[in-house]
Amino acid sequence: MNKDGDIIIIEDDSDDQLLIEQAFQEFGYANKRIYFADGLEALTYLNGQTPLPFIIFI
């Protein structure tokens, strides 16, 4: 597990993205967070990634 890796979040609602981002900030996660509107965008991104993400939220 790559605990320093990116956090991938697949969420198309901007209000929910804001709430998720606030929660990560409040808990002090320093990991880079990358948001995608749908799974296909995330899959395309992940296919080109060498380092594995820390976690993926769908």
What's the structural domain count of the chain? Answer: 1
Q: What is the pTM of this model?
A: 0.86
Those residues whose C-beta lies under 8 Å from the C-beta of residue 21, and which sit 6 or more positions away, are: 33
10-residue mean pLDDT profile of the chain (58 residues): values are 90 97 94 96 88 91
Q: What is the pLDDT of residue 49?
A: 72
Q: How far apart are CA 47 and CA 45, in angstroms?
A: 6
Does 2 map to a domain? no
State the pairing for strand pair 7-10/33-36: parallel
pLDDT at 18: 97
